[in-house]
Amino acid sequence: MPRYLTSLQTHCKEVIRIGDMTDGGWNVCHDKPYRPPFPCLVYSFGINVDFSFDDYIVKTYGCDVHSFDPSTGQLDFRRGQQIWFHNLGLSGVTGKLGKWKVSTLKDIIDNLNHTSRRVNIVKMDIEFSEWKSLPNIIKTGALRNTSQLLVEFHGSSASVEKLQTLRGIYNEGFRIFWYHRNPVKGNLIQGTFVQNSACYEVYFVRK
Protein backbone atom coordinates (compact mmCIF):
# COMPACT_ATOMS: atom_id res chain seq x y z
CA MET A 1 0.00 0.00 0.00
CA PRO A 2 2.76 2.56 0.73
CA ARG A 3 4.08 2.06 -2.80
CA TYR A 4 0.71 3.07 -4.26
CA LEU A 5 0.24 6.04 -1.93
CA THR A 6 3.66 7.39 -2.93
CA SER A 7 3.14 7.00 -6.69
CA LEU A 8 2.43 10.32 -8.42
CA GLN A 9 -0.28 9.91 -11.05
CA THR A 10 -0.55 13.42 -12.46
CA HIS A 11 1.47 16.63 -12.50
CA CYS A 12 0.54 19.85 -10.76
CA LYS A 13 2.71 22.76 -11.90
CA GLU A 14 2.15 24.94 -8.84
CA VAL A 15 1.74 23.32 -5.43
CA ILE A 16 1.29 25.81 -2.59
CA ARG A 17 1.27 25.33 1.16
CA ILE A 18 -1.93 26.43 2.88
CA GLY A 19 -1.52 26.91 6.63
CA ASP A 20 1.45 26.16 8.84
CA MET A 21 4.56 24.51 7.43
CA THR A 22 4.29 21.95 10.24
CA ASP A 23 1.54 19.39 10.82
CA GLY A 24 -1.37 21.83 10.55
CA GLY A 25 -0.78 22.89 6.95
CA TRP A 26 -1.74 21.11 3.74
CA ASN A 27 -0.71 21.41 0.11
CA VAL A 28 -3.10 22.53 -2.61
CA CYS A 29 -2.80 22.41 -6.39
CA HIS A 30 -2.95 26.05 -7.51
CA ASP A 31 -3.15 25.27 -11.23
CA LYS A 32 -6.08 27.08 -12.83
CA PRO A 33 -8.20 23.98 -13.62
CA TYR A 34 -8.13 22.92 -9.97
CA ARG A 35 -7.80 26.02 -7.79
CA PRO A 36 -11.03 27.05 -6.03
CA PRO A 37 -12.76 29.84 -7.97
CA PHE A 38 -14.56 32.50 -5.94
CA PRO A 39 -17.12 31.89 -4.46
CA CYS A 40 -15.88 28.56 -3.16
CA LEU A 41 -16.58 26.07 -0.41
CA VAL A 42 -14.17 23.88 1.58
CA TYR A 43 -14.81 21.12 4.14
CA SER A 44 -12.05 20.52 6.69
CA PHE A 45 -12.44 17.34 8.74
CA GLY A 46 -10.18 16.81 11.76
CA ILE A 47 -8.60 20.00 13.02
CA ASN A 48 -8.11 19.47 16.76
CA VAL A 49 -7.51 23.13 17.71
CA ASP A 50 -5.42 24.06 14.65
CA PHE A 51 -7.31 26.34 12.26
CA SER A 52 -4.25 27.35 10.21
CA PHE A 53 -5.36 25.51 7.05
CA ASP A 54 -8.90 26.83 7.38
CA ASP A 55 -7.79 30.41 8.06
CA TYR A 56 -5.38 30.48 5.12
CA ILE A 57 -7.94 28.99 2.75
CA VAL A 58 -10.06 32.05 3.50
CA LYS A 59 -7.11 34.42 3.05
CA THR A 60 -5.90 32.77 -0.16
CA TYR A 61 -9.12 32.00 -2.01
CA GLY A 62 -11.91 33.72 -0.07
CA CYS A 63 -13.74 30.42 0.43
CA ASP A 64 -16.39 29.59 2.97
CA VAL A 65 -14.95 26.89 5.24
CA HIS A 66 -16.81 24.37 7.37
CA SER A 67 -14.55 22.76 9.98
CA PHE A 68 -15.46 19.52 11.74
CA ASP A 69 -14.07 17.78 14.82
CA PRO A 70 -16.00 16.02 17.61
CA SER A 71 -12.91 15.36 19.74
CA THR A 72 -12.24 18.91 20.98
CA GLY A 73 -15.19 19.23 23.34
CA GLN A 74 -16.17 22.53 21.71
CA LEU A 75 -19.75 23.30 20.75
CA ASP A 76 -20.64 24.60 17.30
CA PHE A 77 -19.42 28.15 16.78
CA ARG A 78 -18.70 30.76 14.15
CA ARG A 79 -15.04 31.71 13.62
CA GLY A 80 -15.03 35.06 11.84
CA GLN A 81 -17.17 35.72 8.80
CA GLN A 82 -16.35 32.67 6.70
CA ILE A 83 -15.51 29.75 9.01
CA TRP A 84 -18.08 27.59 10.77
CA PHE A 85 -17.01 24.96 13.32
CA HIS A 86 -19.15 21.87 13.83
CA ASN A 87 -18.91 19.49 16.78
CA LEU A 88 -19.36 16.58 14.38
CA GLY A 89 -17.22 13.80 12.95
CA LEU A 90 -17.11 12.12 9.56
CA SER A 91 -17.95 8.43 9.34
CA GLY A 92 -19.60 5.81 7.17
CA VAL A 93 -22.91 6.14 9.04
CA THR A 94 -24.88 8.95 10.63
CA GLY A 95 -25.47 8.66 14.39
CA LYS A 96 -23.31 8.23 17.47
CA LEU A 97 -19.80 6.81 17.73
CA GLY A 98 -19.30 6.41 21.44
CA LYS A 99 -19.88 9.90 22.85
CA TRP A 100 -19.32 11.63 19.49
CA LYS A 101 -21.84 12.68 16.88
CA VAL A 102 -20.83 11.49 13.41
CA SER A 103 -22.31 11.74 9.95
CA THR A 104 -21.78 10.67 6.38
CA LEU A 105 -20.54 13.30 3.95
CA LYS A 106 -23.76 13.13 1.94
CA ASP A 107 -25.87 13.81 5.01
CA ILE A 108 -23.61 16.72 5.98
CA ILE A 109 -24.01 18.25 2.53
CA ASP A 110 -27.79 17.78 2.70
CA ASN A 111 -28.13 19.14 6.25
CA LEU A 112 -26.05 22.23 5.50
CA ASN A 113 -28.13 22.91 2.37
CA HIS A 114 -25.04 22.66 0.18
CA THR A 115 -26.55 20.32 -2.42
CA SER A 116 -26.60 23.12 -4.97
CA ARG A 117 -23.01 24.20 -4.22
CA ARG A 118 -19.71 22.70 -5.27
CA VAL A 119 -17.53 21.57 -2.36
CA ASN A 120 -14.24 22.50 -4.03
CA ILE A 121 -11.84 20.93 -1.53
CA VAL A 122 -12.40 18.17 1.02
CA LYS A 123 -9.62 17.68 3.57
CA MET A 124 -9.67 14.88 6.12
CA ASP A 125 -7.33 13.90 8.94
CA ILE A 126 -9.65 11.74 11.00
CA GLU A 127 -7.45 9.07 12.62
CA PHE A 128 -8.35 5.85 10.73
CA SER A 129 -11.99 6.89 10.18
CA GLU A 130 -11.12 7.66 6.56
CA TRP A 131 -11.35 3.91 5.92
CA LYS A 132 -14.94 3.91 7.28
CA SER A 133 -15.97 7.15 5.60
CA LEU A 134 -14.59 6.86 2.08
CA PRO A 135 -16.52 3.73 0.96
CA ASN A 136 -19.80 5.49 1.78
CA ILE A 137 -18.58 8.71 0.17
CA ILE A 138 -17.78 6.83 -3.03
CA LYS A 139 -21.02 4.83 -2.97
CA THR A 140 -23.21 7.92 -2.55
CA GLY A 141 -21.30 10.07 -5.05
CA ALA A 142 -20.76 12.79 -2.45
CA LEU A 143 -17.47 13.88 -4.10
CA ARG A 144 -18.86 14.20 -7.62
CA ASN A 145 -18.36 17.99 -7.65
CA THR A 146 -15.10 18.09 -5.67
CA SER A 147 -11.88 19.13 -7.43
CA GLN A 148 -9.34 18.32 -4.71
CA LEU A 149 -9.29 15.62 -2.04
CA LEU A 150 -6.65 15.78 0.70
CA VAL A 151 -6.45 12.75 3.01
CA GLU A 152 -4.14 11.52 5.73
CA PHE A 153 -4.24 7.75 5.45
CA HIS A 154 -3.44 5.87 8.66
CA GLY A 155 -2.08 2.34 8.90
CA SER A 156 0.70 0.67 6.93
CA SER A 157 -0.89 -2.75 6.34
CA ALA A 158 -2.98 -3.42 3.26
CA SER A 159 -6.31 -5.23 3.17
CA VAL A 160 -8.83 -6.04 0.48
CA GLU A 161 -11.16 -3.36 1.84
CA LYS A 162 -8.46 -0.68 1.85
CA LEU A 163 -7.35 -1.53 -1.68
CA GLN A 164 -10.96 -1.45 -2.87
CA THR A 165 -11.32 2.00 -1.30
CA LEU A 166 -8.23 3.28 -3.10
CA ARG A 167 -9.51 1.80 -6.36
CA GLY A 168 -12.83 3.54 -5.75
CA ILE A 169 -11.08 6.90 -5.36
CA TYR A 170 -9.23 6.25 -8.63
CA ASN A 171 -12.45 5.29 -10.39
CA GLU A 172 -14.00 8.56 -9.21
CA GLY A 173 -11.39 10.30 -11.36
CA PHE A 174 -8.98 11.37 -8.61
CA ARG A 175 -5.24 11.20 -9.27
CA ILE A 176 -2.37 11.69 -6.81
CA PHE A 177 -0.41 14.90 -7.45
CA TRP A 178 1.54 15.05 -4.16
CA TYR A 179 2.23 13.00 -1.07
CA HIS A 180 3.99 13.44 2.23
CA ARG A 181 5.12 10.91 4.79
CA ASN A 182 4.19 12.02 8.27
CA PRO A 183 7.58 11.87 10.03
CA VAL A 184 6.26 12.19 13.58
CA LYS A 185 8.08 9.81 15.92
CA GLY A 186 6.11 6.60 16.24
CA ASN A 187 4.83 6.71 12.66
CA LEU A 188 8.07 5.67 10.96
CA ILE A 189 8.62 2.04 10.00
CA GLN A 190 12.10 0.97 8.96
CA GLY A 191 12.09 -1.50 6.07
CA THR A 192 15.00 -3.36 4.54
CA PHE A 193 15.79 -0.70 1.95
CA VAL A 194 13.36 2.15 2.61
CA GLN A 195 11.75 3.92 5.53
CA ASN A 196 7.96 3.86 5.41
CA SER A 197 5.39 5.54 7.58
CA ALA A 198 2.14 4.57 9.26
CA CYS A 199 0.66 7.91 8.11
CA TYR A 200 0.67 9.38 4.61
CA GLU A 201 -0.82 12.69 3.56
CA VAL A 202 -2.01 12.06 0.01
CA TYR A 203 -3.22 14.82 -2.29
CA PHE A 204 -5.61 14.19 -5.20
CA VAL A 205 -7.07 16.27 -8.01
CA ARG A 206 -10.01 15.19 -10.11
CA LYS A 207 -8.89 14.81 -13.69
* Identity of the residue numbered 107: D
Whether the predicted model's global pTM rises above the 0.85 cut: yes
pLDDT of residue 196: 57
pLDDT digits (tens, 9 = 90+) for 10-54: 999 999 999 988 778 999 999 999 999 999 999 999 998 899 999
Give how far the C-alpha of residue 165 lies from the chain's centroid of Cα atoms, to the nearest Å: 14
- CA 113 from centroid of its chain's CA atoms: 20
pLDDT bracket for residue 158 (50, 70, 90): confident
The average pLDDT across 176-193 equals 63
What ranges do the domains of the chain cover?
2-43+88-206
Strand partners, 28: 16
